[in-house]
Structure 1
Amino acid sequence: MTENDRKFEATTPNFKSEAAKKIAKLFPEVVADGQIDTDALEELLSPDLEDEEANEKYKFTWRGKRNAKRIADAPARTTTLIADKKSSKDWDATKNVYIEGDNLEVLKLMQKAYSEKVKVIYIDPPYNTGHDFVYKDKYHDPYDNYLRETGQIDAAGNVTTTNRESNGRFHTDWLNMMYPRLKLARNLLMDDGVIFISIDDNEDANLKKICDEIFGENNFLAQVVWERAYAPINLKKNFSESHDYILVYAKDASIVETRGIPRGDEADNRYSNPDNDPRGVWQSDNLSVGPAIESNIYPVTTPSGRVVEPPAGRSWSLSQKAFRERLKDNRIWFGSDGNGVPRMKRFLSELKKPGITPMTIWKYKEVGHSQEATQQLQKLMCGKKYFDYPKPVKLIQRAVQLYSENDSIILDFFSGSATTAQSVIEQNAEDGGHRKFIMVQLPEKTSKKSVAYKDDYKTIPEIAEERIRRAGKQIQEKHSDIKFDTGFKVFKLESSTIKQWDDNPDKFTEQLEMLHSPFTQDSTNDQRALEIAIKSGISLTASPEIDGDNYHFVSDDKEVFVILGKYDEKLLDELDKERKLPNATAVIREMDNGSETKFNLIEKMKQEPELNDHFSLEWL
């Protein structure tokens, strides 16, 4: 088979293989017998292998770290996403997505379609308090393991696994859960994308270390302190914790700049125009800085004739030449009586960004507190308390405000009560944006003793999806003058519709069935086409054109034809008429006794350069 004629790969990318290809391209001298010679690579990159001390490096490690890396690099082989239109809202129109499933497998399935497409990620992972669900990933059979862990095939009825401090692997289990997910999440961020991670003291230090490793120390932006409580708990023996942290990292800090917190009346009221400057309202800044710059220490004569100098140990922030230029341009203010210490005028109209640069302490009066979040969600759900510790909408909305554009994708793969979804809808309502959200949540079962279970919510996603419906309706009623997207498409993680080859000799007869059909017997063509589209890089919100058993997907820079029905030698000419992008992929199911047709299509590609330039064929 040629580059434009190959077998369809039913797995997500293998990142170790992809990395090896890039290394081989950059350093061909380290390739031996088709494999990367790691010793040669180390020798090439190390400055001085003889200097043992120079090659001793700080490392943060734990038991299972190597396996966590392998899990992150391994492709998703046995899973897909199945559409659930019944649970969705506005399926045909919405660009929002809600996914029920293990976020590790889901993140892998998202790699092709959403690589470098997500602007903001916010996650609120388990804090590892000793009672949290901590999912124990397995390198082999990850989907089967997921079903067991979530109670879907566990005969004993075990729904979750808690990570108790007494188990001897308290921090290790948590780190092994987080590492591969963060590694995969980084791939989805745009170059100027940003991730926000909520955490408390239990794992803050460890989280900072793995984020430094995955995102790079130089891409650390802030450790925000969120004031989540406003009153002490007097029963505490020593201290009553009143804050959580939010770690903020950029994909590439050198090109990231915050849009700032939207300006309100309080911020704008700090500006005035006492001298009727035609450039509009302004506020003044201190002109002295410290420590002193020797050349910037000089006397200044005020309009009233008083001579002033910088305070002891400080200097002016401007050189004499720059000061004279600003003075001539009426940018220096000496007070209304002309007798004050000089200050620099800063005009509201000249601010480089639309908002206010955020500080690293977020007070509850600005972004809400835990009790407020619980009360608001309880009110939305008719007075019922389904979640213990939801985050305030305003808290996550601030993250959205700071770094998203009007059409950005916002991802939350520990979405819980779906506060992030509501935050995105709220922000779109406020500024007329068209941001899209992607929520991912493990389908944890609710306790049979819980209020949620008694109200017929059997899983966490069922509650969250209802929360999004109610929040969307409430926000739309509040902003009835504008229209924005309050819908969402629901997908569920399921086993692949494409049969996987099993080397087990006991299953040989079963494997022979693959010669008759590459698909599982109980799957539908819609489900098969969706899996092929996802694994070919088509976004989950793309709506295909359907012609019988043939599907045509277009999404951003990807175009895929999925041909599951009958066809003849005219197929490529017909597809070329429908093609909308310069390059398209046709994934074609081989017909029984259709080898001659397949051969003719391949020959046609070879003989017609234009078709060969525009199409690549993949066979099922």
Structure 2
Amino acid sequence: MEKLKMHSPDLSQDNIAKIRDLFPSCVTEARDEATGKLRLAVDFDLLRQELSDSIVEGPQERYRLDWPGKQEALMTSNAPIAKTLRPVRGESLNFDITKNLFIEGDNLEALKLLQENYLGRVKLIYIDPPYNTGRDFVYADDFSESSDEFLQRSNQKDSSGNRLVANTTSNGRFHSDWLSMMHSRLQLARNLLSEDGVIFISIDDNEQANLKRLCDEVFGSQNFVNTIIWEKRYSPQNAVKWFSESHDFILVYAKDKLNWYPRLLERSADMNARYKNPDNDPRGVWKPENATAQAGHGTKSQFYEITAPNGKTHTLPNGRCWVYTKEVFEKMVADNRIWFGNDGNNVPAVKRFLSEVKQGTACQTIWKYSEVGHNQEGKKEVNQLFPEATVFETPKPVRLLKRVLHLATEADSIILDFFAGSATTAHAAMQLNADDGGNRKVISVQLPEATEENSTAWKAGYQNIAEISKERIRRAGKKILETESHPDWNRDIGFRVLKVDTSNMKDIYYRPDELSQGDLLEAVDNVKPDRTPEDLLFQVLVDWGVDLTLPIRRETLQGKTVFFVDDNALVACFDTGITEELVKELAKHEPLRVVFRDNGFVSDAVKINVEQIFRQLSPSTEVRAL
């Protein structure tokens, strides 16, 4: 029976497999110095020969972004981790029916754990990372250890609250540490984007230039869409030495620019007010547009005199031509699409009907606070939800995130924010769903960063940022439910809380190439005593790449607890003493996947017969052991 691997994907091996698809002769097998096992390896000498016309080596000058620690950051982003996501029902809201996730923990580890579940499924990623102002905290990733050391360390109990360190300007690696932190996370985030997906990243002047170069490298400069200027303040700050900063940037990159285009914005009332109907045209309101164009763009057939229905002759101004040929123009007049004024003496104009123009307008790259809100508006929104404390100083306003969501998502899109912070993204998604009846789903990731001691948030009982984020979603959702909403909205204001934690397995560090039957025999009971069957279920969901928001049903069959995920998408039983009769009963459900605890069978004979039973009763079922 095949065993689950119990760690995140080894992306370096996946990348080698992709190279093998392009250059089969350049991939071979080599013995891992640490384990003595054979693994896929790249023959770089042969690969260089294959790419000899274009490869750049050694000290030769080239265009690239480099910093101390870049290679280690790339290695760490690819290295697998033996961690899991543990469900916490007590901190969740509508756990059994919600399609939203809140993942508490290091976002690098969370992104690794989501690689198989959400690979190529996320339509929009929005992040508001630390701006690296010299007062911000950055993740203290350890880029000095080997992949094996990283795998082992990631399987130990650590205090994730200690993963943040102050990145002051006196740090000799001030920019390098920030770039390393962002590089590994963006690399993993790109994998999750769908082919028509897009990422929006808020940033200020401190790292905007570096972030642009970094994103050019991760997403490809050809997939850069635009830099948006957001007017974040509505009044100047006079107590400054140089300029009063009124804006932030939002960088926009598509997974594939040719596959993603922003939706149009709704037309404003002012735009529509320009359309009138002075002649009571049955086709509705219209506005006059110039019937001439620059002469240099016209042909001979566009130079002629026009005689209006009242007999008046109209000639062209110097340097102009008519926008239509004479034949087309006469047809337009006959169809009442040319306007000569109420008395017929006006210069001819083309009637542009509102019903025939785009029912929207292209979004501009300068976003005014009057349209999308400002920092003070964002702070006011959070203060209204948290009257007992000032929990965030500069949260993004909901209107800003609603603009991003409107441009980049459809009604059923998956949205990811792995620097969740004040949870404005989740709030905005719920609000937009309530407005248009959508079913957008949000994955929020936040480290339990400790609140500052003696701060108003700390005094109000909030020990870390993740607690505030979750409470903001609860309170915002409740408030939205109290207001008028779209009749088609599913009213999903919940979220499943999953916490990044050590593996459910007892101090066993292994990868598939390190696993032997002897290891399993020695670990008769290889599950930690404090882990619940639901903990084990979610580790299986992560390991097997199953959607983490699917409905879960728990049943008791023959005295054993059995989980049914989305009915028959996955069936799991982690109890001991499993009999052949129970295996046969589960096989009759014909699940797509089934998983048991490795030492859960009543006898070795039953364990041996499991695959045979499913082969007979449900041949399409994948059978695995934990």
Instruction: Answer yes or no: same fold by TM over 0.5.
Output: yes
- Alpha-carbon separation, structure 2, partners of 1:325 and 1:594: 89
Match of 2:11 in 1: 15
**Is residue 43 of structure 1 aligned with residue 49 of structure 2?**
yes
SS of residue paired to 1:384: coil
- Alpha-carbon separation, structure 2, partners of 1:286 and 1:43: 62
Deviations 1:229-275 (A, max 9, x none): 12111121221110000111111221212222233433332333344
Preserved contact between residue 435 and residue 485 of structure 2 (Cα < 8 Å): no
Preserved contact between residue 8 and residue 115 of structure 2 (Cα < 8 Å): yes
Aligned 1:166-315 pairs, distance under 5 A: 166-285=170-289, 292-293=296-297, 295=299, 298-302=302-306, 303=308, 304-308=312-316, 312=319
User: How far is 1:166 from its partner?
Assistant: 0.8
Any stretches of 5+ residues in structure 1 without a counterpart? 152-158, 504-509
What is the letter of the counterpart of residue 24 of structure 1? R
- Alpha-carbon separation, structure 1, partners of 2:417 and 2:498: 15
What is the letter of the counterpart of residue 242 of structure 1? S
Preserved contact between residue 81 and residue 155 of structure 2 (Cα < 8 Å): no
User: How far is 1:125 from its partner?
Assistant: 0.5
- Alpha-carbon separation, structure 1, partners of 2:582 and 2:346: 83
User: How far is 1:289 from its partner?
Assistant: 6.5
Deviates more, 1:64-73 or 1:337-346: 337-346
User: How far is 1:160 from its partner?
Assistant: 3.7
SS of residue paired to 1:600: helix
Match of 1:348 in 2: 354
What is the letter of the counterpart of residue 543 of structure 1? P
- Alpha-carbon separation, structure 2, partners of 1:551 and 1:572: 14
Aligned 1:530-541 pairs, distance under 5 A: 530-541=538-549
Deviates more, 1:319-328 or 1:83-92: 319-328
**Is residue 487 of structure 1 aligned with residue 468 of structure 2?**
no
SS of residue paired to 1:549: strand
SS of residue paired to 1:165: coil
**Is residue 560 of structure 1 aligned with residue 564 of structure 2?**
no
What is the letter of the counterpart of residue 476 of structure 1? L
Question: Aligned pairs, how many?
Answer: 590
Deviations 1:536-581 (A, max 9, x none): 12222223222333322239xx92222323434456653343236x
Preserved contact between residue 296 and residue 317 of structure 1 (Cα < 8 Å): no
User: How far is 1:56 from its partner?
Assistant: 6.0
Match of 1:418 in 2: 423
Give the direction of change, closer, same or farther, for the CA distance of 1:101–1:340 in structure 2 (3 Å limit).
farther
Match of residue 391, structure 1, among 387, 390, 396: 396
- Alpha-carbon separation, structure 2, partners of 1:331 and 1:107: 57
**Is residue 475 of structure 1 aligned with residue 480 of structure 2?**
yes
What is the letter of the counterpart of residue 38 of structure 1? F
Match of residue 449, structure 1, among 447, 451, 454: 454
**Is residue 107 of structure 1 aligned with residue 114 of structure 2?**
no
Match of 1:156 in 2: none
User: How far is 1:207 from its partner?
Assistant: 0.7
Give the direction of change, closer, same or farther, for the CA distance of 1:225–1:590 in structure 2 (3 Å limit).
same
Identity level (%): 42
- Alpha-carbon separation, structure 2, partners of 1:419 and 1:472: 12
Give the direction of change, closer, same or farther, for the CA distance of 1:113–1:554 in structure 2 (3 Å limit).
farther
User: How far is 1:514 from its partner?
Assistant: 5.2
Q: What TM-score do the two structures reach when normalised by structure 2?
A: 0.85
**Is residue 618 of structure 1 aligned with residue 618 of structure 2?**
no
Deviates more, 1:268-277 or 1:192-201: 268-277
Aligned 1:354-393 pairs, distance under 5 A: 354-382=359-387, 384-393=389-398
- Alpha-carbon separation, structure 2, partners of 1:64 and 1:545: 46
Preserved contact between residue 96 and residue 552 of structure 2 (Cα < 8 Å): no
What is the letter of the counterpart of residue 497 of structure 2? V
What is the letter of the counterpart of residue 453 of structure 1? W
Deviates more, 1:540-549 or 1:395-404: 540-549
Deviations 1:71-124 (A, max 9, x none): 2212221x2111221122222222222121111111111111111222111111
User: How far is 1:497 from its partner?
Assistant: 0.5
- Alpha-carbon separation, structure 2, partners of 1:373 and 1:329: 52
Any stretches of 5+ residues in structure 2 without a counterpart? 30-39, 144-149, 511-517
What is the letter of the counterpart of residue 527 of structure 1? D
What is the letter of the counterpart of residue 436 of structure 1? K
- Alpha-carbon separation, structure 2, partners of 1:493 and 1:342: 69
Preserved contact between residue 452 and residue 458 of structure 2 (Cα < 8 Å): yes
Match of 1:75 in 2: 80
